[in-house]
Amino acid sequence: MRTLNDLNTVTGELVDEGQLDELRETDWAARSERGVEVFRYDQGMQVLDHPDLLKGPSFQYRLDALGIQGEARRYVDMGITNTEGEQRRQMRASMGALFRPAQIAKLRDAIRTSARVLLDGIEAPDDFDLMDYCWNIPARTYCDLVSVPYEKKDMVIRVADSILGTLLKVDHSRREEAEAAILESVDVVREHLDLRRGNLGDDFTSVMIRQQMDGLLTEDQLVAQSFALLQASVDNTAHQMSHAFGNLLQNPDRWQAFIDDRSLRGPIIEETIRLFPRFGTIFRLAARDTVIDDLEISEGTWVFVSVRAGQRDAEAFEDPAVYTTDRKKKRPLMFGAGPYNCLGQNLARMEIEEALDAVADRFPDIRLSGKWERNHHNAVSETRRLHVDLGQEVVPPVAEAAEPEASSVSATEYSESESGHRAASVPPGEQVITGVIHGLVSAGRDSMSLELRAADGSPLPEWEPGSHIDVTLPNGEMRQYSLCGSLEDRRSYRVAVLHEEESSGGSSYVHEELRVGDRVEIQGPRNNFVFEPAPTYRFVAGGIGITAILPMAREAARQGADWSLIYLARNAERHALHDELMELPGYRLELMTTEKNGRPSLQQVTGKHSDGALLYACGPTELMNALYESDWPEDAIRIERFAPDTEAINAPKEAFRVNLTESEMALNVPEDKSILDVVEDAGIDWPYSCREGTCGSCETHILRGTADHRDAVLTPSERKENEYMMICVSRAQTDELDLEI
């Protein structure tokens, strides 16, 4: 085992490719006056993936070197780039789901329109600085992300360059400029937050405001997070985009190959990231004594990974100095790894894709009219100018009036509800409403019926049978409850809550402390228990499971379908919502008590199946599991559990491996951890709520392998299809699973 003193010593700016090649061939590491320098890919990835080598201090290092203090320093320090531990995990989680590939894909139309609109009306097409184009695309995308007018994009570009352009290079000559830009951007962020609070939409700012309202972020953290989003989404994307254009245009044969075959777009971007990375060096601070390969690294040592050298490592890349679009894809060092893996990398790639396509469609004969002027620093490479002759235009321009339809609601765009209340457009199930407890009445022994209304009296979102809402109680506990009121009543939601003997805080609080007039947060409604059309229905309810079934019975009656309902409880006192049940036709309803009559036979519970009939059931695990032993076809049974399937969850667990295709990571799942656990441990943020397989929030697409389903959400037929799984509880039947994460 070696120590720092055993390494060769290097000095100066490590930017020359020849010098880096020589250093990499000599040893994977060297010592410099600032710490340990790492030159090879494998060891570099070990550093970036190591939980004890921290990223947060790297920005503090730059701020200290520049002498930035005061209010400007305070906001940068609060951002995700400067934080570590649980605070960083929470802040990263608050943004993680927004940057999932499926979410980012929703921005493509807006980015595509921006990429084309920005090519309209160029005054000097024979001597155009393409760097200006590269700045404007991510600036407009930022405006879409946070729903600010495009007229702000010039300010966005200016402050992004002033801040990151100074910090990344530790440019002392621009310190005052950077401080002023930080404070200006914080003021802009605060102004925008104030505008959005009364007009929440589905943009990133609105989501973060909701998180602050839910107590997940403090007010200062909300400002810092919004500020960090501005920093991260513009500067680096602009320069990496310019590198893609520069790489192709200084080699006209590469540009022509792209014109001839657009399927090369992805490989071109990956090779550009490899050979022309925006980041030259990424560094970490050892939080404790650490070992990388054969080197002992002492606590407090700075470790610098040369992205330029590592991404040209012959042990990791065949013919590393050669540009090729046939190269097997490999994770770049440039986007980091582990808990610091870049959240926005898929967005950056998408912006570069659309920029390349837009220029190729409009100006296929583009060529350099001057040099590709770049600066190389130890930390970053950047484009100063990229002057081009656009050549002959071959498609008509896009009218500037064609603003991106996918752009989020602006600060002045509203939709009018029937009552005249103004509300921002929000995707179904994502509404967050400040509610008030309007009524609390007994709904049976140990059951309480809650009537919830919007605090401002506005109409509540429509819902369908089977829907539930998330209710955040005054004590901070969030619980999911099935809606059981009238579909026509837009003024109120009704739920019923069973007082559980082993309550974890939710039901006890409702029964013992909740009062009329208390404020709650309501999110939803969502529907994982969809009521499907059928000529005949058999409804089965057990205990508090009647809350999900009652609206379905009402709807079946309204539609004129043939239906029947059996409701099982220990005794008559435990038949919840008795008064509402008495409004149903008596000949279709059977209230059964096991205390008096004993347990019914399975045939009594399910009745006889007929062609096209569906059985809907909600209740205890034992009852739900028994239904699949009946004569009913599995694909005719629809169930919802109100408690996790503990028997399945507690079944023996074996280790297996998951390959995360979107993140390009392979992870081992030990016996004592879930897939969700190891995904989070790897620094990947994935949506979840219950962690017990009952809510469906963590549903994940299976690409290869067979899941061992242990959730309470999927039907048997869905499990057989093996297309999705709930990664909070389900495991693998095969040695490996490929998941779209």
Q: Is residue 628 part of a domain?
A: yes
Residue 379 pLDDT greater than 60, yes or no: yes
pLDDT tens for 521-575 read 998 898 878 899 999 999 999 999 999 999 999 999 999 999 999 999 999 889 9
The residue among 290 and 408 whose pLDDT is bigger is 290
What is d(CA 379, CA 279) in angstroms, rounded to the nearest whole number? Answer: 6
- Do 233 and 368 lie in one domain? The reply is yes
Q: Is residue 202 part of a domain?
A: yes
User: Tokens representing 546?
Assistant: 């009647």
pLDDT band at 648 (very low <50, low <70, confident <90, very high): low
The residue among 221 and 365 whose pLDDT is bigger is 365
Strand pairing class (665-669; 128-129): unpaired
Q: Is residue 80 part of a domain?
A: yes
Q: Which CATH number is 502's domain given?
A: 2.40.30.10
Of the residues 526, 552, 573, which one is the last residue of a structural domain?
A: 526
Q: What is residue 647's predicted lDDT score, i.e. its pLDDT?
A: 63
- Do 465 and 547 lie in one domain? The reply is no
- Do 169 and 293 lie in one domain? The reply is yes
Range of the domain at 564: 536-643
Residue 151 pLDDT greater than 90, yes or no: no
Other C-beta atoms closer than 10 Å to the C-beta of 17 total 13
Q: Is residue 153 part of a domain?
A: yes
Q: What is residue 502's predicted lDDT score, i.e. its pLDDT?
A: 64
- Do 599 and 730 lie in one domain? The reply is no
Residue 242 pLDDT greater than 90, yes or no: yes
Q: What is residue 85's predicted lDDT score, i.e. its pLDDT?
A: 66
Of the residues 484, 504, 526, which one is the last residue of a structural domain?
A: 526
Q: What is residue 655's predicted lDDT score, i.e. its pLDDT?
A: 95
- Do 548 and 569 lie in one domain? The reply is yes
Q: What is residue 219's predicted lDDT score, i.e. its pLDDT?
A: 80
Residue with tokens 């002027």: 373
Q: Is residue 582 part of a domain?
A: yes
The residue among 287 and 218 whose pLDDT is bigger is 287
Q: Is residue 516 part of a domain?
A: yes
- Do 340 and 476 lie in one domain? The reply is no
Of the residues 497, 526, 555, which one is the last residue of a structural domain?
A: 526
Q: What is residue 527's predicted lDDT score, i.e. its pLDDT?
A: 84
Q: What is residue 693's predicted lDDT score, i.e. its pLDDT?
A: 77
Q: What is residue 76's predicted lDDT score, i.e. its pLDDT?
A: 80
Residue 337 sits at the vertex; the CA angle it makes with 332 and 339, to the nearest 5 degrees, is 160
Mean pLDDT, all residues of the chain:
86
Mean pLDDT of 279-286: 92
Mean pLDDT of 501-505: 63
Residue with tokens 């920093």: 231
Q: What is residue 165's predicted lDDT score, i.e. its pLDDT?
A: 81
What is d(CA 44, CA 282) in angstroms, rounded to the nearest whole number? Answer: 9
- Do 318 and 289 lie in one domain? The reply is yes
Q: Is residue 403 part of a domain?
A: no
User: Tokens representing 157?
Assistant: 């570009």
Mean pLDDT of 685-691: 70
Q: Is residue 78 part of a domain?
A: yes
- Do 162 and 202 lie in one domain? The reply is yes
Share of the chain above pLDDT 90, in %: 54
Q: What is residue 507's predicted lDDT score, i.e. its pLDDT?
A: 87
Residue 12 pLDDT greater than 80, yes or no: yes
What is d(CA 80, CA 227) in angstroms, rounded to the nearest whole number? Answer: 10
Q: Which CATH number is 41's domain given?
A: 1.10.630.10
- Do 370 and 453 lie in one domain? The reply is no
pLDDT band at 425 (very low <50, low <70, confident <90, very high): very low
Share of the chain above pLDDT 70, in %: 88
Tell me, letter by letter, the H, E, C secondary structure of 252-291. Answer: HHHHHHHHHCHHHHHHHHHHHHHHCCCECEEEEEECCCEE
ω before 525 within 30° of 0 (cis)? yes
pLDDT tens for 298-332 read 999 999 999 999 999 999 999 999 999 999 878 89
Contact (Cβ atoms closer than 8 angstroms) between residue 545 and residue 529: no
What is d(CA 627, CA 712) in angstroms, rounded to the nearest whole number? Answer: 14
pLDDT tens for 166-194 read 888 888 899 899 889 888 888 888 888 88
88-102, 148-162, 257-271: least confidently modelled range: 88-102
In 3D space, the residue among 734, 733, 731, 735 whose CA is nearest the CA of residue 678 turns out to be 731
- Do 615 and 673 lie in one domain? The reply is no
Q: What is residue 501's predicted lDDT score, i.e. its pLDDT?
A: 72
The residue among 716 and 375 whose pLDDT is bigger is 375
- Do 506 and 574 lie in one domain? The reply is no
The residue among 658 and 95 whose pLDDT is bigger is 658
Mean pLDDT of 374-386: 91
Residue 604 pLDDT greater than 70, yes or no: yes
The number of distinct structural domains making up the chain is 4
What is d(CA 632, CA 606) in angstroms, rounded to the nearest whole number? Answer: 8
Q: Which CATH number is 579's domain given?
A: 3.40.50.80
- Do 375 and 445 lie in one domain? The reply is no
Q: Which CATH number is 676's domain given?
A: 3.10.20.30
To the nearest 10 degrees (0 to 180), the angle between helices 175-197 and 153-167 is 140
The residue among 278 and 417 whose pLDDT is bigger is 278
